[in-house]
Amino acid sequence: MRHLIDILDLTPAEIDGLIAKACDIIARPQDYAHRCEGKKLATLFFEPSTRTRLSFEAAMYELGGHVIGFSDAANSSASKGESVADTVRVVGCYADIIAMRHFKEGAPLVAAMKSPVPIINAGDGGHNHPTQTLTDLLTIWREKGRLDNLTVGFCGDLKFGRTVHSLISALSRYSGIRFVLISPEELKVPSYIKDTLKQKGLEYVQTTDLEAVMPELDILYMTRVQRERFFNEEEYLRLKDSYILTPEKLQAAKADLTVLHPLPRVNEIAVTVDDDPRACYFRQALNGKFIRMALILKLLEVE
Ligand code: CP
């Protein structure tokens, strides 16, 4: 039985396979409409979500399966003190696969140790978000036609942004990737990630100046400042609008720049950017459903 807790649980060849499968699903959705008949997905969301939960649920429905679960832990027996380990042991009696989001880093890993069915980490605290990374990789593949030889700028909250941590980890296995890490001093990428980049001899630069590096970028990955991870509201209010992408700032960018954002957006991309053909974040959200369909098929070993 396979789980997906960290993006590195998948080999690059397996990620290539998932991307190929997602592209086939996009091309021939009718061929997949009954693949998961009789199967159930449980979505256990201890933290709020729109895209991840609903794209998982849409993915299972489009595969012909069923969905159970909760979107608010207050309505589950976690509110009575039930542990994550006990919850998944029980839900594993009712469902064939579980997608779980939790506010505590490591909770999906604990769940995987006890679960009788595959666990998918749908985001754990400020740690990892591997299915967002699969979404991002599929999007880069569809927009750029490659996953190597790219200059990738990550901008915003690189400290708490779990999507950033997982995507850096994934891209560090491809050749010719240059990382440009754009953040306020207070929200720099954690040192364990920089240590990994250094150990692998990968090229990265850190800067606070988005406009200075804009012309170099092939990909610009914007992120929201993660209010829910701050201990101090004043600090959040001071940092929240550090970067706001506007059409004026994009004038200095490459004509084929790909602008990504895992969403939700708060204020960091002006809505006037949405009509720019380089704005790919809504296509990215759609890709999330297709790659999750591919992942469900893989973990359920459905052909
Ligand atoms: N990208 C993402 O994880 O969005 P949600 O929080 O809405 O699931």
Token representation of residue 214: 């804009």
Instruction: Decide whether any atom of ligand 1 lies within 6 Å of the 264 Cβ.
Output: yes
Nearest to 301 by CA among 35, 26, 28, 8: 35
pLDDT for 51 equals: 98
Amino acid in position 244: I
pTM over 0.85: yes
Helix locations, the chain, DSSP H? 12-27, 51-62, 84-91, 107-114, 130-144, 162-171, 191-199, 210-213, 233-239, 247-250, 281-299
- Report the residue among 43, 46, 51, 132 best suited for mutation to probe ligand 1: largest number of ligand atoms under 8 A from its CB: 51
Nearest to 277 by CA among 301, 259, 291: 259
Q: Which of 52, 135, 151, 223 is catalytic?
A: 52
Q: Which of 3, 53, 101, 127 is catalytic?
A: 101
Token representation of residue 188: 């720099």
- Report the residue among 132, 136, 268, 281 best suited for mutation to probe ligand 1: largest number of ligand atoms under 8 A from its CB: 132
Check: CB of residue 165 under 8 Å from CB of residue 128: yes
Q: How many residues does this entry show for the chain?
A: 303
CA distance 111 to 53: 18
89 carries an active-site annotation: no
pLDDT for 273 equals: 98
Q: What is the pLDDT along the chain (303 residues), one digit of tens a residue?
A: 999 999 999 999 999 999 999 999 999 999 999 999 999 999 999 999 999 999 999 999 999 999 999 999 999 999 999 999 999 999 999 999 999 999 999 999 999 999 999 999 999 998 999 999 999 999 999 999 999 999 999 999 999 999 999 999 999 999 999 999 999 999 999 999 999 999 999 999 999 999 999 999 999 999 999 888 887 899 889 889 899 999 999 999 999 999 999 999 999 999 999 999 999 999 999 999 999 999 999 999 997
Query: What's the gap in Å between 82 CA and the centre of ligand 1?
Result: 25
Check: CB of residue 218 under 8 Å from CB of residue 151: yes
Instruction: Decide whether any atom of ligand 1 lies within 6 Å of the 228 Cβ.
Output: no
Quick one: which atom of ligand 1 is closest to the CA of 263? 1
43 carries an active-site annotation: no
227 carries an active-site annotation: no
| Partners of residue 120 on adjacent β-strands | 4, 99
| Partners of residue 153 on adjacent β-strands | 180, 220
80 carries an active-site annotation: yes
pLDDT for 206 equals: 97
CA distance 120 to 97: 8
Q: Which of 3, 35, 51, 165 is catalytic?
A: 51
142 carries an active-site annotation: no
Quick one: which atom of ligand 1 is closest to the CA of 262? 1
pLDDT for 227 equals: 85
Omega prior to 29 cis, within 30 of 0: no
Amino acid in position 52: T
Quick one: which atom of ligand 1 is closest to the CA of 54? 8
Check: CB of residue 241 under 8 Å from CB of residue 265: no
pLDDT for 229 equals: 82
- Atom 1, ligand 1: which residue's CA is nearest? 262
Query: What's the gap in Å between 30 CA and the centre of ligand 1?
Result: 27
pLDDT for 189 equals: 95
Check: CB of residue 12 under 8 Å from CB of residue 22: no
DSSP 188: P
pLDDT for 303 equals: 76
